[in-house]
A and B are shown apart, each in its own frame.
Chain A
């Protein structure tokens, strides 16, 4: 990815994006669905859109998913 496309991607916004508050409210449900192989992105498109754009929430998602998988492991 070159600089122009990185900048363009950064500036793109998705109207489905639910924002941090709603994303964090449902994060545990979303993570469980991802961990169990469910279609979380289809079920929660607004949350998925948010996780693609928000670094902090995406980090929290990855951390919670890692904790869940570790606990299963």
Chain B
């Protein structure tokens, strides 16, 4: 069981965030270890955001995470180290903010459906189109015939238009879990349809 760090009333909360990053908190650290927060962005999001916007996002994520951490301190059950538990809030805040940031891009497609990009998404080689043309045509038919309207919308946005799942959840007024579940069901249906028509092998691995 991992102990909960002592936080007293009136204590400066910022060193707590620094501790969440596993760093000693020097005097006057302000918003803790921003360099480290930026590093996490690089790990997680491949530098989709840079410069002042990244600074801004890191600052806001740290602030919101700190609020979440202090509000939920009583829920810490010692199942992990405190720093890991606290860091999770920062990571989740960053994910949510990157999702919001996505829609600031002017070139974001949502309604458009560019199915010609699908082969590239899965690494199908143009030179060997004769080998995969029928498979992708069958996939597209299955998307149109097997999925519900909502499942189709989610599949097209994520797979065809390359919209990040978190960003789509935000646009749909939903959440990551619900959108993932919709995609999960869509994937299962599509694979079953392709296997039933001989385009993919029947799955005998115990997964469906």
Any A CB within 8 A of the CB of B207: yes
A-chain residues with CB within 8 Å of residue B87 when the two chains form the complex: 28, 64, 67-68, 71
B177 in complex: contacting residue of A6, A19, A32, CB < 8 Å: A19
Cβ distance B101 to chain A, nearest Cβ, rounded Å: 14
- For A21, the closest partner residue in chain B by CB is B177
Q: A71, B180: Cβ atoms under 8 Å?
A: no
Main secondary structure of the interface of B (DSSP, over half): helix
Interface residues of A in 22-38 (CB under 8 A from B): 24, 27-29, 31-32, 35
A2 in complex: contacting residue of B123, B194, B200, B203, CB < 8 Å: B123
Chain B residues close to A by CB (< 8 Å): 21-23, 36, 39-40, 43-45, 79-81, 83-85, 87-88, 90-92, 94-95, 119, 122-125, 132, 135, 139, 164-166, 175-177, 180-181, 184, 187-188, 190-191, 194, 200-201, 203, 207-208
A20 in complex: contacting residue of B84, B88, B91, B180, CB < 8 Å: B180
B39 in complex: contacting residue of A54, A55, A66, CB < 8 Å: A66
Q: How far is the CA of A13 from the CA of B203 in the complex (A)?
A: 10
Cβ distance A28 to chain B, nearest Cβ, rounded Å: 4
Main secondary structure of the interface of A (DSSP, over half): helix
Q: A71, B21: Cβ atoms under 8 Å?
A: yes
5 closest Cβ contacts across the A-B interface?
A71-B22, A3-B124, A11-B191, A63-B44, A20-B177
